[in-house]
Amino acid sequence: MTDSRSSIPVLTIDGPGGAGKGTISRLIAERLGWHLLDSGCLYRLTALAALRKNVALDDEAMLAQLATGLDVEFRVAGAVTAVLLEGDEVGQEIRTEKVGDCASRVAALPAVRTALLQRQRDFRLSPGLVADGRDMGTVVFTDATLKIFLTASAEERARRRYLQLREAGVDASLSSLLREIQARDARDTQRSVAPLVAADDAIELDTTSLSIPEVVDQLEELLAQKGLVSST
């Protein structure tokens, strides 16, 4: 990374799925006028590409090749970001439980993580970056200006996902969602490369009993302490 790029501020927001990282990251990026990196999206896109091309999820070499040459485009239109894979809009498809589970498996492979590492770092552009993921503060942006680790109980995260799916008209089982989240947590925390863990210098926030506005307020206070936003 060049010296000029390393001077660009980065806010990392790591944590398990369902802790609120995506929503919080988008709101903070909008508030700051910074770029946004949804790193999980890249792993989901890799997983979807593998499913479409019938690549086995344990074929590490082929998956790494897919990740390296991923034909992806992000198009921002107002408050909506379209995600295109080989020209197809796949924003809804990559958010399914099936693709999410496959992405967790793909993300455990060292060669895939290496293939996507520089692609993630290239999102570090002026005036700043909000990076949402699982290893943003521990691996990708170890020199981040501020590191946050969001957590919430597995039960609360399953409940949130259940309500989200119901609102979208999708049938879901709360007990099945809880089992899937617990299995994904175990995979993410126990993998040998870049396991899900808070960075030593990260600030941990438990969102189990907090609303989105309450979390945003806390983050803005922390950002103000770093001089990144004006104190109110």
The Cα 46–Cα 39 span in angstroms is 11
**pLDDT tens by residue, 134-167:** 999 999 999 999 999 999 999 999 999 999 888 8
**pLDDT tens by residue, 95-140:** 888 998 999 899 989 999 999 998 899 889 999 999 999 999 999 9
pLDDT at residue 1 above 50? no
**pLDDT tens by residue, 34-89:** 988 989 899 999 999 999 999 999 999 999 999 999 988 877 655 567 888 999 99
**Among residues of the chain, what percentage have pLDDT more than 90?**
64
Q: What is the pTM of this model?
A: 0.85
Q: How far is CA 192 from CA 107, 197, 213, in A?
A: 11, 12, 35
CB 99 within 8 A of CB 83: no
Neighbours of 201 (CB within 10 A): 11
Give me the mean pLDDT over the 162-177 stretch.
89
Give me the mean pLDDT over the 180-204 stretch.
91
CB 39 within 8 A of CB 134: yes
pLDDT at site 231: 62
The Cα 189–Cα 62 span in angstroms is 24
CB 20 within 8 A of CB 26: no
Structure letter (DSSP) for residue 96:
S
Neighbours of 101 (CB within 10 A): 16
pLDDT at site 169: 85
For 37, the token pair is: 């990196």
Please list, residue by residue across 58-95, b when 16 or more beta carbons sit within 10 angstroms of its beta carbon and e when fewer do. Answer: eeeeebbebbeebebeeeeeeeeeebebeeeebeebbb
Name every residue whose Cβ is closer than 8 Å to that of residue 88 and which is 6 or more positions away in sequence.
none
Cite the annotated binding site by residue number: 15-23
Cite the annotated binding site for ATP by residue number: 15-23
- Comparing C-alpha atoms, which of 84, 88, 89, 90 is closest to residue 72? 84
pLDDT at site 208: 95
Domains of the chain: 8-210 (3.40.50.300)
For 82, the token pair is: 């379209």
pLDDT at site 73: 81
Q: Is 138 exposed, middle or buried (0-12, 13-18, 19+ CB in 10 A)?
A: buried
